[in-house]
Structure 1
Protein backbone atom coordinates (compact mmCIF):
# COMPACT_ATOMS: atom_id res chain seq x y z
CA UNK A 1 0.00 0.00 0.00
CA UNK A 2 2.82 2.40 0.89
CA UNK A 3 4.56 1.56 -2.40
CA UNK A 4 1.41 2.42 -4.37
CA UNK A 5 1.04 5.75 -2.54
CA UNK A 6 4.71 6.60 -3.22
CA UNK A 7 4.32 5.66 -6.89
CA UNK A 8 1.20 7.81 -7.23
CA UNK A 9 2.93 10.69 -5.47
CA UNK A 10 5.96 10.42 -7.76
CA UNK A 11 3.75 10.23 -10.86
CA UNK A 12 1.73 13.27 -9.73
CA UNK A 13 4.91 15.24 -9.03
CA UNK A 14 6.30 14.34 -12.46
CA UNK A 15 3.07 15.46 -14.13
CA UNK A 16 3.03 18.71 -12.16
CA UNK A 17 6.63 19.54 -13.03
CA UNK A 18 6.21 18.77 -16.72
CA UNK A 19 2.98 20.77 -17.02
CA UNK A 20 4.67 23.88 -15.54
CA UNK A 21 6.90 24.12 -18.60
CA UNK A 22 4.24 24.04 -21.32
CA UNK A 23 5.14 27.54 -22.56
CA UNK A 24 8.78 26.65 -23.27
CA UNK A 25 9.71 27.15 -26.92
CA UNK A 26 13.52 27.00 -26.59
CA UNK A 27 15.75 26.22 -23.60
CA UNK A 28 19.46 25.46 -24.01
CA UNK A 29 22.63 25.89 -21.95
CA UNK A 30 26.36 26.07 -22.72
CA UNK A 31 28.70 24.83 -19.99
CA UNK A 32 31.78 26.51 -18.56
CA UNK A 33 34.42 25.15 -16.25
CA UNK A 34 33.66 27.67 -13.49
CA UNK A 35 35.07 30.63 -15.48
CA UNK A 36 33.64 32.63 -18.39
CA UNK A 37 36.37 34.19 -20.52
CA UNK A 38 35.45 37.59 -21.99
CA UNK A 39 36.41 36.30 -25.45
CA UNK A 40 34.05 33.31 -25.17
CA UNK A 41 30.88 34.23 -27.02
CA UNK A 42 27.99 31.86 -26.32
CA UNK A 43 25.80 31.33 -29.39
CA UNK A 44 22.33 29.81 -29.68
CA UNK A 45 20.41 29.19 -32.89
CA UNK A 46 16.78 28.23 -33.26
CA UNK A 47 14.25 27.82 -36.05
CA UNK A 48 11.16 29.99 -35.83
CA UNK A 49 8.16 29.44 -38.09
CA UNK A 50 5.60 31.45 -36.11
CA UNK A 51 5.65 35.15 -37.06
CA UNK A 52 2.45 36.06 -35.18
CA UNK A 53 2.69 34.88 -31.56
CA UNK A 54 4.42 36.80 -28.77
CA UNK A 55 7.34 35.49 -26.70
CA UNK A 56 9.42 36.33 -23.63
CA UNK A 57 13.17 35.80 -23.85
CA UNK A 58 15.54 35.19 -20.93
CA UNK A 59 19.27 34.81 -20.49
CA UNK A 60 19.67 32.05 -17.92
CA UNK A 61 22.72 31.84 -15.67
CA UNK A 62 23.97 29.18 -13.32
CA UNK A 63 26.72 30.36 -11.02
CA UNK A 64 28.36 29.34 -7.77
CA UNK A 65 29.16 31.24 -4.59
CA UNK A 66 32.56 32.06 -6.07
CA UNK A 67 30.89 34.63 -8.36
CA UNK A 68 32.64 37.78 -7.02
CA UNK A 69 30.37 40.66 -8.13
CA UNK A 70 27.00 42.18 -7.28
CA UNK A 71 26.07 42.64 -10.92
CA UNK A 72 26.58 41.22 -14.39
CA UNK A 73 27.02 43.06 -17.68
CA UNK A 74 26.22 41.28 -20.93
CA UNK A 75 26.36 42.16 -24.60
CA UNK A 76 23.55 40.27 -26.35
CA UNK A 77 23.09 40.17 -30.12
CA UNK A 78 20.04 38.94 -32.02
CA UNK A 79 20.37 38.19 -35.74
CA UNK A 80 17.33 37.69 -37.96
CA UNK A 81 17.28 35.01 -40.66
CA UNK A 82 18.61 35.86 -44.10
CA UNK A 83 20.02 39.25 -43.09
CA UNK A 84 23.13 40.77 -41.66
CA UNK A 85 20.92 42.90 -39.42
CA UNK A 86 21.97 42.41 -35.82
CA UNK A 87 20.26 44.04 -32.85
CA UNK A 88 22.79 44.62 -30.05
CA UNK A 89 21.85 45.24 -26.42
CA UNK A 90 24.12 45.96 -23.46
CA UNK A 91 22.37 44.66 -20.36
CA UNK A 92 23.03 44.89 -16.63
CA UNK A 93 21.60 42.53 -14.03
CA UNK A 94 21.82 42.46 -10.24
CA UNK A 95 23.22 39.09 -9.18
CA UNK A 96 23.64 39.46 -5.40
CA UNK A 97 21.70 40.83 -2.45
CA UNK A 98 23.17 43.76 -0.45
CA UNK A 99 24.65 41.27 2.04
CA UNK A 100 26.56 39.55 -0.81
CA UNK A 101 24.47 36.37 -1.04
CA UNK A 102 23.67 35.31 -4.56
CA UNK A 103 20.20 35.85 -5.94
CA UNK A 104 18.51 33.12 -7.93
CA UNK A 105 16.93 29.75 -7.38
CA UNK A 106 18.63 26.68 -5.94
CA UNK A 107 19.28 24.82 -2.71
CA UNK A 108 23.03 24.29 -3.11
CA UNK A 109 25.84 26.74 -3.80
CA UNK A 110 24.76 26.78 -7.48
CA UNK A 111 22.09 29.40 -8.18
CA UNK A 112 20.06 29.71 -11.36
CA UNK A 113 18.78 33.08 -12.52
CA UNK A 114 16.37 33.82 -15.36
CA UNK A 115 17.31 37.31 -16.50
CA UNK A 116 14.83 39.22 -18.69
CA UNK A 117 16.23 39.82 -22.17
CA UNK A 118 13.16 40.73 -24.27
CA UNK A 119 9.50 40.84 -23.31
CA UNK A 120 6.44 40.40 -25.51
CA UNK A 121 8.40 40.10 -28.78
CA UNK A 122 7.45 38.49 -32.05
CA UNK A 123 9.79 37.15 -34.71
CA UNK A 124 8.97 39.02 -37.93
CA UNK A 125 10.57 36.51 -40.32
CA UNK A 126 10.37 32.74 -40.44
CA UNK A 127 13.76 31.01 -40.36
CA UNK A 128 16.89 30.57 -38.27
CA UNK A 129 17.58 33.18 -35.58
CA UNK A 130 20.89 33.45 -33.74
CA UNK A 131 21.47 34.92 -30.28
CA UNK A 132 25.05 35.59 -29.10
CA UNK A 133 25.93 36.43 -25.49
CA UNK A 134 29.24 37.80 -24.20
CA UNK A 135 30.13 38.85 -20.67
CA UNK A 136 31.30 42.46 -20.30
CA UNK A 137 31.99 42.79 -16.57
CA UNK A 138 34.46 45.50 -15.57
CA UNK A 139 35.86 46.57 -12.24
CA UNK A 140 35.06 50.13 -11.17
CA UNK A 141 37.46 52.60 -12.77
CA UNK A 142 38.94 50.01 -15.15
CA UNK A 143 38.24 50.25 -18.87
CA UNK A 144 39.39 46.76 -19.79
CA UNK A 145 36.97 43.98 -18.91
CA UNK A 146 37.47 41.07 -16.55
CA UNK A 147 39.34 38.42 -18.56
CA UNK A 148 37.88 35.45 -16.67
CA UNK A 149 34.64 35.79 -14.75
CA UNK A 150 34.75 33.33 -11.83
CA UNK A 151 31.82 31.27 -10.65
CA UNK A 152 29.93 30.89 -13.94
CA UNK A 153 29.06 27.25 -14.67
CA UNK A 154 26.45 27.64 -17.44
CA UNK A 155 24.88 30.31 -19.62
CA UNK A 156 21.63 29.69 -21.44
CA UNK A 157 18.83 31.09 -23.51
CA UNK A 158 15.19 30.42 -22.76
CA UNK A 159 12.26 31.49 -24.92
CA UNK A 160 8.67 31.08 -23.68
CA UNK A 161 5.45 31.64 -25.57
CA UNK A 162 3.06 34.08 -23.93
CA UNK A 163 -0.02 31.99 -24.83
Structure 2
Protein backbone atom coordinates (compact mmCIF):
# COMPACT_ATOMS: atom_id res chain seq x y z
CA UNK A 1 0.00 0.00 0.00
CA UNK A 2 2.85 2.36 0.88
CA UNK A 3 4.46 1.85 -2.55
CA UNK A 4 1.16 2.49 -4.31
CA UNK A 5 0.56 5.81 -2.53
CA UNK A 6 4.11 6.98 -3.35
CA UNK A 7 3.62 6.01 -6.98
CA UNK A 8 0.30 7.87 -7.24
CA UNK A 9 1.82 11.00 -5.67
CA UNK A 10 4.68 10.90 -8.20
CA UNK A 11 2.25 10.53 -11.12
CA UNK A 12 0.22 13.55 -9.94
CA UNK A 13 3.34 15.70 -9.60
CA UNK A 14 4.72 14.56 -12.96
CA UNK A 15 1.51 15.24 -14.88
CA UNK A 16 1.84 19.01 -14.29
CA UNK A 17 5.22 19.36 -16.00
CA UNK A 18 5.30 21.23 -19.34
CA UNK A 19 9.01 20.58 -20.00
CA UNK A 20 8.51 16.80 -20.01
CA UNK A 21 8.66 15.07 -23.40
CA UNK A 22 8.70 11.54 -21.97
CA UNK A 23 8.86 9.93 -18.54
CA UNK A 24 8.22 6.40 -17.38
CA UNK A 25 9.25 3.98 -14.61
CA UNK A 26 9.77 0.23 -14.51
CA UNK A 27 9.18 -1.37 -11.11
CA UNK A 28 11.71 -4.01 -10.14
CA UNK A 29 10.27 -7.43 -9.41
CA UNK A 30 10.60 -8.15 -5.68
CA UNK A 31 12.76 -5.01 -5.26
CA UNK A 32 15.81 -6.58 -6.92
CA UNK A 33 17.58 -5.24 -9.99
CA UNK A 34 19.07 -8.32 -11.63
CA UNK A 35 22.33 -8.03 -13.55
CA UNK A 36 20.74 -9.28 -16.77
CA UNK A 37 17.65 -7.07 -16.41
CA UNK A 38 18.26 -4.19 -18.81
CA UNK A 39 15.61 -1.51 -18.35
CA UNK A 40 14.65 0.02 -21.70
CA UNK A 41 12.44 3.01 -22.41
CA UNK A 42 11.24 3.92 -25.91
CA UNK A 43 10.13 7.43 -26.86
CA UNK A 44 9.45 9.67 -29.85
CA UNK A 45 11.39 12.77 -30.84
CA UNK A 46 9.35 15.04 -33.10
CA UNK A 47 11.68 18.04 -33.34
CA UNK A 48 15.38 17.18 -33.89
CA UNK A 49 16.29 20.90 -33.94
CA UNK A 50 15.28 21.13 -30.26
CA UNK A 51 17.78 20.36 -27.48
CA UNK A 52 16.88 17.90 -24.72
CA UNK A 53 18.03 16.79 -21.29
CA UNK A 54 18.21 13.03 -20.76
CA UNK A 55 17.73 11.87 -17.19
CA UNK A 56 17.80 8.71 -15.10
CA UNK A 57 15.37 8.22 -12.21
CA UNK A 58 15.82 5.69 -9.42
CA UNK A 59 13.71 4.77 -6.42
CA UNK A 60 15.37 2.89 -3.59
CA UNK A 61 14.58 1.80 -0.07
CA UNK A 62 16.67 3.04 2.84
CA UNK A 63 17.87 -0.58 3.20
CA UNK A 64 19.90 -0.29 -0.02
CA UNK A 65 23.31 -1.66 1.10
CA UNK A 66 25.59 0.78 -0.75
CA UNK A 67 25.97 4.55 -0.84
CA UNK A 68 26.37 4.64 -4.62
CA UNK A 69 25.12 3.06 -7.81
CA UNK A 70 27.07 2.25 -10.95
CA UNK A 71 25.05 1.86 -14.12
CA UNK A 72 25.57 2.03 -17.85
CA UNK A 73 23.15 3.92 -20.05
CA UNK A 74 22.74 3.54 -23.78
CA UNK A 75 20.91 5.76 -26.27
CA UNK A 76 19.87 4.01 -29.49
CA UNK A 77 18.01 5.03 -32.61
CA UNK A 78 15.20 3.03 -34.25
CA UNK A 79 17.73 0.95 -36.23
CA UNK A 80 19.43 -0.10 -32.97
CA UNK A 81 22.50 2.04 -33.67
CA UNK A 82 24.21 3.16 -30.46
CA UNK A 83 24.31 6.96 -30.36
CA UNK A 84 25.69 7.29 -26.84
CA UNK A 85 26.85 4.86 -24.17
CA UNK A 86 28.49 5.67 -20.85
CA UNK A 87 29.19 4.17 -17.46
CA UNK A 88 27.99 6.45 -14.68
CA UNK A 89 28.34 6.46 -10.92
CA UNK A 90 25.88 8.35 -8.70
CA UNK A 91 25.53 8.67 -4.94
CA UNK A 92 22.22 7.69 -3.35
CA UNK A 93 23.48 8.31 0.19
CA UNK A 94 26.13 10.58 1.69
CA UNK A 95 29.30 8.42 1.77
CA UNK A 96 30.38 9.74 5.19
CA UNK A 97 27.13 10.14 7.13
CA UNK A 98 24.90 7.63 5.37
CA UNK A 99 22.15 10.22 5.09
CA UNK A 100 19.99 9.57 2.04
CA UNK A 101 19.96 11.96 -0.89
CA UNK A 102 16.92 12.58 -3.05
CA UNK A 103 13.36 13.22 -2.00
CA UNK A 104 11.90 10.79 0.46
CA UNK A 105 8.68 9.56 1.91
CA UNK A 106 9.12 7.13 4.78
CA UNK A 107 11.92 4.76 3.86
CA UNK A 108 11.63 5.35 0.08
CA UNK A 109 13.79 7.81 -1.82
CA UNK A 110 13.51 9.13 -5.37
CA UNK A 111 16.54 10.37 -7.29
CA UNK A 112 16.87 12.11 -10.62
CA UNK A 113 20.24 12.42 -12.37
CA UNK A 114 21.08 14.29 -15.55
CA UNK A 115 22.78 12.01 -18.07
CA UNK A 116 23.10 14.43 -20.98
CA UNK A 117 22.42 18.17 -21.10
CA UNK A 118 21.47 19.94 -24.31
CA UNK A 119 21.41 16.65 -26.20
CA UNK A 120 20.44 16.87 -29.86
CA UNK A 121 18.94 13.89 -31.65
CA UNK A 122 20.04 13.48 -35.28
CA UNK A 123 16.55 13.07 -36.76
CA UNK A 124 12.87 12.79 -35.99
CA UNK A 125 11.88 9.31 -34.91
CA UNK A 126 11.85 6.61 -32.26
CA UNK A 127 14.70 6.33 -29.76
CA UNK A 128 15.45 4.24 -26.70
CA UNK A 129 17.27 4.87 -23.46
CA UNK A 130 18.32 1.78 -21.53
CA UNK A 131 19.95 1.15 -18.16
CA UNK A 132 22.04 -1.74 -16.92
CA UNK A 133 23.29 -2.01 -13.35
CA UNK A 134 27.08 -2.32 -13.00
CA UNK A 135 27.52 -3.06 -9.30
CA UNK A 136 29.27 -6.44 -9.81
CA UNK A 137 26.41 -8.30 -8.16
CA UNK A 138 23.95 -10.66 -9.77
CA UNK A 139 21.10 -9.06 -7.86
CA UNK A 140 21.05 -5.56 -6.48
CA UNK A 141 18.62 -5.37 -3.55
CA UNK A 142 16.26 -2.54 -2.62
CA UNK A 143 16.23 -0.79 -5.98
CA UNK A 144 12.47 -0.47 -6.41
CA UNK A 145 12.15 1.37 -9.73
CA UNK A 146 14.25 2.56 -12.63
CA UNK A 147 12.99 5.35 -14.84
CA UNK A 148 13.89 7.55 -17.77
CA UNK A 149 12.99 11.14 -18.48
CA UNK A 150 13.46 13.26 -21.59
CA UNK A 151 12.71 16.94 -21.22
CA UNK A 152 13.08 20.09 -23.27
CA UNK A 153 16.27 22.00 -22.49
CA UNK A 154 15.48 25.50 -21.32
CA UNK A 155 16.28 28.00 -24.04
Q: Same fold (TM over 0.5)?
A: yes
Q: Post-superposition, which runs of at least 4 consecutive aligned residues in structure 1 deviate over 2 A?
A: 17-20, 81-87
Aligned partner of 1:161 in structure 2 is: 152
Asked if residue 57 in structure 1 is aligned to residue 48 in structure 2, the reply is: no
Structure showing greater Rg: 1
- Cα distance in 1 for partners of 2:58, 2:90 equals 11
- Cα distance in 2 for partners of 1:19, 1:110 equals 21
With the length of structure 2 as denominator, give the TM-score of the two structures: 0.84
With the length of structure 1 as denominator, give the TM-score of the two structures: 0.80
Aligned partner of 1:82 in structure 2 is: 79
Aligned partner of 1:124 in structure 2 is: 122
- Maintained 8 Å contact 1:70/1:95: yes
- Among 23, 27, 37, the alignment partner of 1:31 is 27
- Maintained 8 Å contact 1:80/1:125: no
* Greater percentage in strand: 2
Aligned partner of 1:142 in structure 2 is: none
1:86-97 aligned at under 5 Å gives the runs 86-97=83-94
* Alpha-carbon spacing, 1:83–1:65, altered in 2? closer, same or farther (3 Å): closer
* Secondary structure at the counterpart of residue 52 of structure 1: coil
Instruction: List runs of 5+ in structure 1 lacking aligned partners.
Output: 1-16, 138-144
- Cα distance in 2 for partners of 1:112, 1:70 equals 14
- Cα distance in 2 for partners of 1:78, 1:52 equals 18
What value does the CA root-mean-square deviation take over the aligned residues? 1.6
Instruction: List runs of 5+ in structure 2 lacking aligned partners.
Output: 1-12
Cα shift at 1:19? 8.3
Aligned residues: 140
Cα shift at 1:20? 5.4
Aligned partner of 1:22 in structure 2 is: 18
Cα shift at 1:74? 0.5
Aligned partner of 1:150 in structure 2 is: 141
